[in-house]
Amino acid sequence: MKALLVSYDLKNANMNQKNKIHTTLYDYKDYSNGGRYNYERKGLLSRIPSIKLNRGVFIIKLDHKKEVLSVLKKNKANLRTILIEIPESLLKES
């Protein structure tokens, strides 16, 4: 199966852009009413077949390239992508 290895860094992004990328891509906890209510918010990489390899490095199914890369490009992340071939059993949805 064709997949995309994505590596990015946020050197050129400001703090708002960095937060936007992380809350869009990864899971996070949302608190309201002074911490009284807790919500688990799922990120984009939890909803699509993906593997997180390291900080700023992950593999996604090639079908989801457009939606993931648009988030990174819009928020000034420096990108490097490599087209790879991996077994479909390695990619999982969380």
Q: What does the pLDDT average to over 31-35?
A: 88
Give the pLDDT confidence of 43-85 residue by residue, as tens digits: 999 999 999 999 999 999 999 999 999 999 999 999 999 999 9
Q: What is the pLDDT of residue 88?
A: 83
How many folded domains does the chain comprise?
1
Please report, for the domain that includes residue 14, its CATH number: 3.30.70
Q: Is the dihedral of CA 55, 61, 62, 68 positive or negative?
A: negative
Show the domain range for 39: 2-90
Rg of the chain on CA atoms, in Å: 14
